[in-house]
Amino acid sequence: MPKLIQAEDVVTNFYTYEGVVKALNKVGLVVDHGATFGLVGESGCGKSVMVRSMMRIVQEPGQIEGGKVVLFFNGDQQQEAVDLLQQSEAYMEDLRGNHISMIFQEPNAALNPIMSIGDQISESFLFHRKKEMSKKILEDLSADDCRVFLPLKKLQQTLYTIAADNPKSFILIICSKIPILSLWQRRLKREALQRSIDIIRKLSISNPSETVHRYPHNLSGGMKQRIVIAIALACHPMLLIADEATSNLDVTIQAQILELLKDLKKTEIASILLITHDLGIVAETCDRVGVMYAGNLCEVADVEKLFQNPQHPYTKALLESVPKFSQEGRLRSIDGAVPNLVSPPSGCRFHPRCSHAMEICKQTFPEEIEIEENHMVACHLYVK
Ligand SMILES: Nc1ncnc2c1ncn2[C@@H]1O[C@H](COP(=O)(O)OP(=O)(O)OP(=O)(O)O)[C@@H](O)[C@H]1O
Ligand SMILES: [Mg+2]
């Protein structure tokens, strides 16, 4: 499968009063076109910082200080490979929500409590799809059955022609500020609302044309998360990043949302990057898995391989800490805790907790090696 996005050696640090938190220590990962990539690891190991770095939305006092995040348009490596870390903020603004979307754990934080659901989904269309929607409105206007007062129709046609050419045109900005002229946008808003209703319908929300007029506080947690997904999917992104998107929901709703994501992936989205603590979800939904520990990616493999034949001691320990039906006696946990990333352990960051630790692990950072086809491990137990 062709690559969709490839992060290489990403370094992100947080400059805090306690010192520099070395949150990402040269992390790389690849998400292929059409694949679902799962990113797992204990709390604090850098999963969220990794995806936020890829989207360039790391919060203060964080800084991305190295690496590349290459996005391959059309899945073709030769043409249109863009390093997102080198692009302008305006480029990234256009990319976010358009080509790459992200959903977070807390739907309340993502939704605006004083805006109707319809207006919130419409915003995405109005921001990214003004050009395309203006073209459609122009076609509707020129259709014979469109009965509008002629001078008004001419004025609308002129403004929509400008919008279809350059939606950020100065003339349109001026017109939007003058009350009587700002009415030209009504058709555009109507079109955006109609598209919002269509997308809500796809997410199996009952009564979509009524739901668009409701506010977040009128909806349940599961419904709100569906709306957040609707906003993320509005513009058919190539990549949907879901950071613990279902963790706050009860198990049945969680299962419904994951089923929904699986279905939508076939039609609406190209690839998914899924962050979760739940290895069961990974086993069910992902094609490939990356295991992170203390700011490093320690193992990456196809999902069956990783579960059947884990190689890194941390991956093995992580899998042993998951309850199984057949298991008797106590559940094993990983001794110790994720280290403080202000002063992480030298060499392999896992060595203080690793039962296989050798002298070299304390001194030298392990390079990633491919032990089998498409199975990468960064551990001194394995040599090239
Ligand atoms: N705003 C911040 N200021 C300082 N340090 C931060 C900040 N955000 C994240 N970090 C640090 O970066 C490291 C990685 O955090 P991150 O949120 O990516 O973990 P995570 O793997 O997503 O954990 P969880 O599973 O709990 O969401 C942690 O050590 C954390 O303390
Ligand atoms: Mg997180």
Can you spell out the DSSP letters for 214-282? S-GGGS-HHHHHHHHHHHHHTT--SEEEEESTTTTS-HHHHHHHHHHHHHHHHHT-SEEEEE-S-HHHH
Q: Residue 95 — pLDDT band, cuts 50, 70, 90? A: very high
3-state class percentages of the chain: helix first, strand second, coil last, to nearest 5: 40, 20, 35
pLDDT exceeds 80 at position 237: yes
Shortest-distance Cα residue to atom 31 of ligand 1: 44
pLDDT of residue 301: 97
Report the separation in Å between the CA atom of 275 and the middle of ligand 2, taken as the mean of its atom positions: 8
Between 340 and 260, the more confident residue is 340
Residue to probe by mutation, ligand 1, list 13, 20, 45, most atoms within 8 Å of CB: 45
pLDDT of residue 253: 80
Distance of CA 378 to the CA centre of its chain: 25
Answer yes or no: is pLDDT of 371 > 90. yes
What confidence score (pLDDT) does residue 181 get? Answer: 73
How many A from CA of 295 to the centre of ligand 1? 9
CA of 349, nearest ligand number: 1
**Nearest CA, atom 25, ligand 1:** 43
> What pLDDT was estimated at residue 332?
67
Q: Find residue 81's DSSP bridge partners.
A: 72
Per-residue tokens: 346: 């030298």
Q: Which of 14, 248, 342 to mutate to test the pocket of ligand 1 (most atoms within 8 A of CB)?
A: 14
Residue 52 Cα to ligand 2 midpoint, Å, equals: 10
* Peptide bond just before 61 cis, omega within 30 deg: yes
How far apart are alpha carbons 106 and 348 in whole angstroms? 33
Report pTM: 0.90
* Residue in the structure block whose two tokens are 């299962």: 255
CATH 3.40.50.300 fits 1-113+235-338, yes or no: yes
Q: Find, among 237, 235, 230, the residue nearest to 208 by Cα.
A: 230
More confident residue, 148 or 121: 121
Q: What is the mean pLDDT of residues 52-62?
A: 95
Question: To test the ligand 1 pocket, which listed residue (22, 47, 318) has its Cβ within 8 A of the most ligand atoms?
Answer: 47
> Residue 169 is inside which H or E element, if any?
none
pLDDT mean across residues, the chain = 89
Find the residues whose C-beta lies inside 6 A of ligand 1.
14, 16, 21, 23, 41, 43-49, 59, 62, 341
The model's confidence at residue 329, banded by pLDDT at 50, 70 and 90, is: low
Mean pLDDT for the stretch of residues 308-313:
95
Cα(290) to centroid(ligand 2), Å: 14
pLDDT in the model for residue 172? 84
Is the pLDDT higher at 369 or at 202? Answer: 369
Report, in angstroms and rounded to the nearest whole number, the Rg of the chain calculated over CA atoms: 24
Q: What separation in Å is there between the alpha carbon of 234 and the centre of ligand 2?
A: 24
pLDDT band for position 117 (50/70/90)? very high
Query: Mean per-residue pLDDT for 24-34?
Result: 94
Q: Are 21 and 259 in contact (CB under 8 A)?
A: no
Domain boundaries, the chain: 1-113+235-338, 117-196
Measured in angstroms, how far is the CA atom of residue 14 from the centroid of ligand 1?
A: 9
Q: What percent of the chain has pLDDT over 90?
A: 60
